[in-house]
Structure 1
Amino acid sequence: MRQIIIIGSGPAGYTAAVYAARANLNPLLIASSVEAGGELMNTTEVENFPGFPDGILGPDLMFKMQAQAEKFGTEVVLDDVVSVDLSGDVKTVTLGSGAVHQALAVIFATGSAYRKLGLDDEERLSGHGVSWCATCDGFFFRERTIAVVGGGDSAMEEANFLTRFADKVYVIHRKDSLRASKIMQDRAFANEKIEFVWNSEVVAINGDQTVKSVTLRDTVNGEKSDLELQGLFIAIGNDPRVHLVHGQLDLTPEGTIAVAGRSSKTKVAGVFAAGDVIDPTYRQAVTAAASGTVAALDAEHYLATLPKDLLALAVPAEASDLELTTTA
């Protein structure tokens, strides 16, 4: 049995692992079989994470975080959690491989998932012109005409990145102004390959084997028109990954895991949450990392309150007499 299991491998999960490992809690981190590293694995250049004045590629940042967590003793498992039992003093985590792990404390750092348009042909044409990841698929659209749906920072970042490959990039937005930060807007407006399609929403994706066009509906007058293109990148936000905790933890009206105040404490003793799965507002790598710190420290303090006979079940024999101390 473990002292602590961390579910999720984005900035929150890896930061929690660094702190937990440095506190001699021997954490097990479940990183996912196909999405290890979280959303930043699909991000191009990260310019706003402290310590990297020249920026850093999202995947490079996550590899460094993983290496740091492992350096201090975190065990990283590339598998998917299929169910959890959070009742009682000992929590149970079951993986897709069939492996079952138990721990006295669990941190959920499961992040969020790409939001979809909900159109009939969206899934059918996924991988055949429809994508949610410019860094993954941009290379396949050299000298093509493509579009990005969305109006936030992610959409502007995707559009600018895709101009490295595509001849033309439309940005389709259902309003007449963007919600992206000014610096990201300025970059997109200054890019000659980007053209904005305002007050428009995608209502159909057309093509037999691959994307050939999209049908747009004007959000002002309701008129429909077709826009010919070969690729559609969807960047309209994310939804928190909370499917594992339905019926076990409370959720907020925004759908995130509910925690007490500025802490990471859920309604269940020994269960904590961090990162985008509790944050519907800021959703930045640096705030997720800070949240992971809070979760690790909260978990450490919780473990320090448990009876010694219970702790002895999880702590290696040679370390069973060590006193758990807070790591700054």
Structure 2
Amino acid sequence: MDEKQIEKVNCLIIGSGPAGYTAAIYAARADLKPILYTGLFIGGQLTKTGEVENYPGYPDSTMGPEMMANFHRQAAKMGADLRIGYANAVDFSKRPFRVSIDDKKELLADTVIIATGATPKWLGLEAEQTYAGKGVSACATCDGFFFKGQDVAIVGGGDTAAEEALHLAKLCKKVYMLVRKTGFRASKTMVHKIENTENIEVIFNVEVKNIVGDGRKVNGVCLRNNQTNTDLTLSVSGFFVAIGHHPNTELFKSWLDMDKAGYIQTKNCSTATNIPGIFCCGDAQDANYRQAITAAGSGCMAAIDCERFLLAMEHSPIAIADVS
């Protein structure tokens, strides 16, 4: 990593969203003087979410972008240094850790909290973005309640899709489960549950060609049966995509332990990674829950883990090494 403008940092947080902002709030209150770089997508996935009803403390609900703006303001009020920018290279070979920002500035960080999140996999249809938050969602647990008593469709054939279809079936009048192949990828247990749920109809061998609506909300999905070469349009008010997520962790692959999907592995129910002084929180390490509340909780954990690490270093005979 070339020498550029260099700044020494006590606690660096990479990424915004519920995890990053919560880590910043707790780290600032612990006087760790955290610096947070937002990444290219300021506020994370919630800034593309509409109404949020399941986050505690909002009995009248709130909008995703408004919630993230409040997180941002609270972190700033606590004293966190919030900056727009993205990490483009890291060197975690020794402390202080080297992190390049925007390919212009280099930070030397005693500790790093990674909160880069995960991005849902989409089908690649323009309508997915047009109707995001207006009937299109990548999280049935988050948004299923808004379609109570209505007909919806969900695309995907794995365990996640099956689990979300079952969740929707408890709320919705009808759930169409759209599977591209001739059979499920889901486990036999999940398939058995799907087959025994009356208001779930599985349609195999179909490709989603388009999502249609009136400009304000979804009212249908256009399908192509690849086996019969026929077209079909379903009347639905909600369309859910459950084909997986991409953890935003590519930058750290040569340094941190990850699972096959790229989620960073943390140790012993903590946020500690395989490198002492590097912590990870939120959806970058959580392949199971992916909720704003769990991300915020792990952000709190990361800040506390970071504070304890720095306290231990202060009382250790081995000082944090300088970069030569």
* TM-score, reference length from structure 2: 0.72
Q: 2:255 aligns with which of 245, 248, 256?
A: 248
Q: Percent identity?
A: 33
Q: Deviations over 1:89-125 (max 9, x none)?
A: 11111122512222100001111012133xxxx3xx6
CA distance in 2, matches of 1:186, 1:74: 42
Q: Deviations over 1:223-281 (max 9, x none)?
A: 3433469xx97722422111011110000244310111110110001100001111111
SS at structure 2 position matched to 1:180: helix
> Using a 3 Å threshold, how does the CA distance of structure 1 residues 307 and 285 change in structure 2: closer, same or farther?
same
Tell me the CA shift for residue 37 of structure 1: 0.7
Q: 1:19 aligns with which of 19, 22, 26?
A: 26
Alpha carbon RMSD of aligned pairs, Å? Answer: 3.9
CA distance in 2, matches of 1:80, 1:251: 21
**Aligned twin of 2:86:** 80
**Aligned twin of 2:132:** 134
Tell me the CA shift for residue 184 of structure 1: 4.8
Are the counterparts in 1 of residues 165 and 200 from structure 2 also a CA contact under 8 Å?
no
> Using a 3 Å threshold, how does the CA distance of structure 1 residues 64 and 181 change in structure 2: closer, same or farther?
farther
Q: 1:292 aligns with which of 286, 290, 299?
A: 299
**Aligned twin of 1:223:** 228
> Using a 3 Å threshold, how does the CA distance of structure 1 residues 151 and 44 change in structure 2: closer, same or farther?
closer
**Aligned twin of 2:141:** 153
Q: Deviations over 1:51-99 (max 9, x none)?
A: 1112111111111111111011111111121111112111111122512
SS at structure 1 position matched to 2:12: strand
CA distance in 2, matches of 1:150, 1:200: 20
> Using a 3 Å threshold, how does the CA distance of structure 1 residues 26 and 150 change in structure 2: closer, same or farther?
closer
Q: 1:51 aligns with which of 57, 67, 78?
A: 57
Unaligned 5+ segments in structure 2 are 1-7, 176-198, 211-220
Report how many residues are paired. Answer: 278
Unaligned 5+ segments in structure 1 are 139-146, 162-167, 207-212, 314-328
**Aligned twin of 1:165:** none
CA distance in 1, matches of 2:113, 2:164: 31
SS at structure 1 position matched to 2:173: helix
Moved more, 101-110 or 254-263: 254-263
**Aligned twin of 1:274:** 281
Moved more, 20-29 or 247-256: 247-256
> Using a 3 Å threshold, how does the CA distance of structure 1 residues 3 and 61 change in structure 2: closer, same or farther?
same
SS at structure 2 position matched to 1:104: strand
Are the counterparts in 1 of residues 98 and 106 from structure 2 also a CA contact under 8 Å?
yes
Are the counterparts in 2 of residues 41 and 62 from structure 1 also a CA contact under 8 Å?
yes
* Structure 2 residue 113 is matched with structure 1 residue 107: yes
CA distance in 1, matches of 2:121, 2:44: 15
Are the counterparts in 1 of residues 46 and 64 from structure 2 also a CA contact under 8 Å?
yes
**Aligned twin of 2:14:** 7
SS at structure 2 position matched to 1:41: helix
* TM-score, reference length from structure 1: 0.71
Tell me the CA shift for residue 306 of structure 1: 2.1
**Aligned twin of 1:142:** none
CA distance in 1, matches of 2:201, 2:264: 36
* Structure 2 residue 164 is matched with structure 1 residue 180: yes
